[in-house]
Amino acid sequence: MAERYYIRTWGCQMNERDSEVLAGQLEAMGYEPAERPEEADVVLLNTCTIRDNADQKQLGELGRLKPLKTANPRMLLGVAGCMAQVPEAVERIRRQAPFVDLVFGTHNLHKLPELIEKARRSDEMVVDVWQYAQGVQEHLPSRRSGGVRAWVNIIYGCDKYCTYCIVPYTRGRERSRRPEEILAEIRALVAQGYREITLLGQNVNSYGHDLPERYDFADLLRDVDRLPGIGWVRYMTSHPRDFTPRLIETLAETEHVCEHVHLPVQSGSDAVLKRMNRKYTVAQYLETVDRIRERIPGATLTTDIIVGFPGESEEDFEATLELVRRVRYDNAFTFVYSPRAGTVATRWLADDPTTEEEKHRRLERLNEVVYAIAREKNEALVGREFEVLVEGPSRKDPSVFTARTRGNKLVLVPGERVRAGEWARVRITRAHTWTLEAEPTGAPLAQPALAAGEAR
């Protein structure tokens, strides 16, 4: 019987995509997927370290896996991903989970077959973490996990060095993939029937800066948009500073690129933005938002916000509330600042007068405003018709299917009248903060009604 593997993934879509490559390599080695870690010969945790609670959860998971290791000493337990790139975190793993067999990082995923062999032969924990990436790895096997939605990396790493953020240290300097590699990958995905492509990068708008020719994210979007048979196209994540008028023009003109912009603002205070090293002001951000709304009518807008950044005053925080009320985001991911070892902002913590408790109160106050607006915006959609891409049965109730609008709104539809992986036309019947409920208005659409797009 073939040996089996189990991978658990935390964090962002970059990590999800990396796990697909880990799975692909394991399958190329002859492993088959297991439903549960109990049934697996290789268990990998692909970790995130963006905030301390991610570290905590992952260490907790290692603790829960310990009895499995004891019961089945042949089981190989590995920790991969962003946490492995942080030396302090690796020390914590050594201390708290010495039974782990293998630790490797984000830059040597492609060495998995060798690493497994090495760990199988060694009695000690094998730690193989590369500090720097060696170029871009192409043509690795992968096992996609997103149904008819596929993720495609376009740029790795980040050069922005926001003072709170660990990503430049865990993911390294920016490296763009060659456009012809990206386009070939997407062409193959379209041929295999994938309906939605999400272009991935920590900062997709910097795509191409490091290429020898003049070719940027807007050029790439235009080329992807022109591929025969392409369905919907999304992209994650954008930095407001690089969200240029030229890019907005491209988004307005392309047919297949969805009308959803995730534009992390982080704070509504210029003083905080400056110390975050975000390199834009609130006024510049608002100008970009206004331009997006003017040129892409009906676009949904979401964001990320951090409260309790070192030195954030009550007035700074109120400026963030003000910005949220002004922009009226469709929704937002909100976080309390979490100190990350090695980042600049941790130096300012000693002088920070705001208590952890107060920071959590700020988060609650912010969420009240964000969620009330999200709900109002969703309620305004009741009665309107949208084209959605149906994903499949929802986790809670398999008779209800999840689907998404071009604006990336999550819609629940009765399963019997739609087909997983197909487009459908629906009418919104009820609104909640994070989801919409809808009824199909006709037969499933085999082809996207491209000209129709989202109701405007």
Residues within the interface to ligand SF4 (CB under 6 A): 11-12, 14-15, 48-50, 82, 166-167, 170-171
Angstrom distances, CA of residue 320 to CA of 69, 279, 312, 313, 325:
47, 17, 10, 11, 9
Q: What span, in angstroms and rounded, lies between the C-alpha atoms of 310 and 189?
A: 44
The listed partner (ligand 5AD, ligand SF4, none) that binds 338, CB under 5 to 8 Å by sort, is ligand 5AD
Q: What span, in angstroms and rounded, lies between the C-alpha atoms of 25 and 331?
A: 36
Q: What span, in angstroms and rounded, lies between the C-alpha atoms of 102 and 119?
A: 6
Biggest distance spanned by C-alpha atoms of the chain:
64
The listed partner (ligand SF4, ligand 5AD, none) that binds 377, CB under 5 to 8 Å by sort, is none
Amino acid at 444: P
Q: Indicate left, alpha or beta for 37 from its phi (over 0: left) and psi (-120 to 50: alpha).
A: alpha
Nearer to ligand 5AD, 176 or 237 (CB): 237
Q: Token digits for 213?
A: 């020719």
CB of 285 to ligand SF4, least distance (A): 22
Q: What span, in angstroms and rounded, lies between the C-alpha atoms of 160 and 343?
A: 12
Q: Token digits for 450?
A: 């491209």
Name the one range near ligand 5AD by CB under 6 A: 141-149, 178-186, 336-344, 380-388: 336-344
SS3 label, residue 42: strand
The listed partner (ligand SF4, ligand 5AD, none) that binds 51, CB under 5 to 8 Å by sort, is ligand 5AD
* 346 is a site residue for ligand 5AD (CB under 6 A): no
Amino acid at 166: I
Q: What span, in angstroms and rounded, lies between the C-alpha atoms of 215 and 183?
A: 13
Nearer to ligand SF4, 65 or 82 (CB): 82
The listed partner (ligand 5AD, ligand SF4, none) that binds 405, CB under 5 to 8 Å by sort, is none
Nearer to ligand SF4, 151 or 401 (CB): 151
According to DSSP, the β-strands at 42-47 and 76-81 are: parallel
274-303: contacts with ligand 5AD (CB under 6 A): none
CB of 144 to ligand 5AD, least distance (A): 23
Q: What span, in angstroms and rounded, lies between the C-alpha atoms of 443 and 395?
A: 24
One residue of 25, 203, 238, 266 binding ligand 5AD per CB under 6 A: 266
SS3 label, residue 382: coil
CB of 138 to ligand 5AD, least distance (A): 26
CB of 435 to ligand SF4, least distance (A): 24
Amino acid at 383: G
The residue with its CB nearest to ligand 5AD is 304
Nearer to ligand 5AD, 338 or 435 (CB): 338
Q: What span, in angstroms and rounded, lies between the C-alpha atoms of 374 and 380?
A: 10
Neighbours of 118 (CB within 10 A): 15
The listed partner (ligand 5AD, ligand SF4, none) that binds 96, CB under 5 to 8 Å by sort, is none
CB of 339 to ligand SF4, least distance (A): 14
Q: Token digits for 376?
A: 């109002």
Q: Token digits for 45?
A: 């945790």
One residue of 335, 386, 401, 423 binding ligand 5AD per CB under 6 A: 335
Number of residues in contact with ligand 5AD under rule CB under 6 A = 12
* 165 is a site residue for ligand 5AD (CB under 6 A): yes
CB of 437 to ligand 5AD, least distance (A): 29
Nearer to ligand 5AD, 19 or 25 (CB): 19
The alpha carbon of residue 230 and the mean position of all alpha carbons in its chain are separated, in whole angstroms, by 22
Amino acid at 29: M
Q: What span, in angstroms and rounded, lies between the C-alpha atoms of 81 and 129?
A: 10
CB of 422 to ligand 5AD, least distance (A): 31
β-partners of residue 264 are none
19-58: contacts with ligand 5AD (CB under 6 A): 50-51
Nearer to ligand SF4, 54 or 227 (CB): 54
Nearer to ligand 5AD, 53 or 134 (CB): 53
CB of 93 to ligand SF4, least distance (A): 16
Q: Are 404 and 389 in contact (CB under 8 A)?
A: yes
Q: What span, in angstroms and rounded, lies between the C-alpha atoms of 280 and 265?
A: 9
SS3 label, residue 175: strand
Nearer to ligand SF4, 48 or 282 (CB): 48
CB of 232 to ligand SF4, least distance (A): 23
110-139: contacts with ligand 5AD (CB under 6 A): none
CB of 207 to ligand SF4, least distance (A): 16
Nearer to ligand SF4, 164 or 423 (CB): 164
Give the residues lining the site for ligand 5AD (CB under 6 A): 50-51, 164-165, 264, 266, 304, 306, 335, 337-338, 340
